[in-house]
């Protein structure tokens, strides 16, 4: 059962926890789950809380209704037509996107419908993404005279440069299988199998050492922005520190003894 979070602007975000997985569902279906200022503030607060919750091993981000997320709330943006509001809004959105990267737990996008503009950006900034075969993706701001500059950051770090730029200057949709081919999503399944596939992926992650996942995710994003030599130095230090954890010792001992490891998370 999903619970609407208290004080979150009329339940615009729902959370359900089960088996080490926190399911966060954008709940503005009439607005296609657009990322209003209030929605972004609510998401940041919830992600901050999850970061401190050791019982949460994986986060699944979903959308209620027909769409996954259609991007920013254009009506709100036009209704607050000042440079100061626009700057604050995009800084807030960028802050949330970076929160997903900094979160110790892996984040999986559950994409059942359209993901456009900042919604496509949201998919690109999740660590993993599983899409229904009916899902579609676009960075369509250009169609209303607005280049999707902030979505381009995540998009260009997921797919090839020319493919990303073509999407940005045409606003054209790509389907789920094409999104998978380009590297925007990991897996594509029929809509009726989406939750089953998500469950398989979360179970696989939850079966692994939480300290190894936490250290590995942090290192993975740090090294991406480095030169190769610095990246190897960072990776080597991470592996050495990881090897000194109790979980690594338990995992190796269990492997040698041919038994299932019992993770302690440290």
Q: Quick one: pLDDT at residue 265?
A: 87
Query: How confident is the model over 214-235, as pLDDT tens digits?
Result: 999 999 999 999 999 999 999 9
Confidence of residue 7 (pLDDT cuts 50, 70, 90): very low
Confidence of residue 36 (pLDDT cuts 50, 70, 90): very high
Confidence of residue 2 (pLDDT cuts 50, 70, 90): very low
Query: How confident is the model over 47-66, as pLDDT tens digits?
Result: 999 999 999 999 999 999 99
Per the confidence metrics, is the pTM higher than 0.85? yes
Query: How confident is the model over 149-181, as pLDDT tens digits?
Result: 999 999 999 999 999 999 999 999 999 999 999
3-class SS letters over the chain = CCEECCCCCCCCEEEEEECCEEEEEECCHHHCCCECHHHHHHHHHHHHHHHCCCCCCEEEEEECCCCCECCECHHHHHHCCCHHHHHHHHHHHHHHHHHHHHCCCCEEEEECCCEECHHHHHHHHCCEEEEECCCEEECHHHHHCCCCHHHHHHHCCCCCHHHHHHHHHHCCCEEHHHHHHHCCCCEEECHHHHHHHHHHHHHHHHCCCHHHHHHHHHHHHHHHCCCHHHHHHHHHHHHHHHHCCHHHHHHHHHHHHCCCCCCCCC
């Amino acid at each position: 059962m999903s619970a609407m979070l208290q004080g979150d602007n009329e339940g615009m975000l729902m959370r359900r926890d089960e088996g080490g997985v926190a399911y966060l569902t954008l709940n503005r279906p009439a607005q296609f789950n657009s990322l209003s200022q209030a929605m972004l503030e609510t998401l940041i607060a919830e992600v901050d809380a999850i970061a401190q919750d050791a019982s949460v091993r994986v986060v699944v981000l979903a959308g209620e209704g027909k769409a996954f997320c259609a991007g920013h709330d254009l009506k709100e943006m036009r209704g607050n037509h000042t440079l100061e509001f626009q700057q604050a809004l995009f800084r807030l959105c960028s802050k949330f996107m970076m929160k997903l990267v900094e979160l110790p737990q892996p984040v999986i996008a559950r994409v059942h419908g359209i993901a456009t503009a900042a919604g496509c950006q949201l998919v690109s900034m999740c660590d993993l993404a599983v899409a229904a075969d009916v899902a579609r993706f676009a960075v369509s701001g250009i169609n209303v005279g607005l280049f999707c500059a902030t979505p381009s950051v995540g998009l260009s770090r997921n797919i090839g440069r020319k493919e990303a730029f073509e999407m940005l200057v045409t606003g054209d949709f790509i389907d789920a299988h094409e999104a998978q081919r380009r590297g925007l999503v990991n897996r594509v399944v029929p809509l009726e199998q989406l939750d089953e596939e998500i469950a398989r992926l979360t179970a696989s992650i939850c079966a692994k050492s939480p300290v190894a996942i936490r250290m590995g995710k942090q290192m993975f994003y740090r090294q991406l922005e480095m030169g190769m030599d610095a990246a190897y130095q960072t990776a080597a230090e991470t592996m050495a520190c990881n090897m000194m954890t109790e979980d690594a010792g338990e995992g190796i001992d269990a492997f040698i003894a041919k038994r299932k490891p019992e993770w302690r998370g440290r």
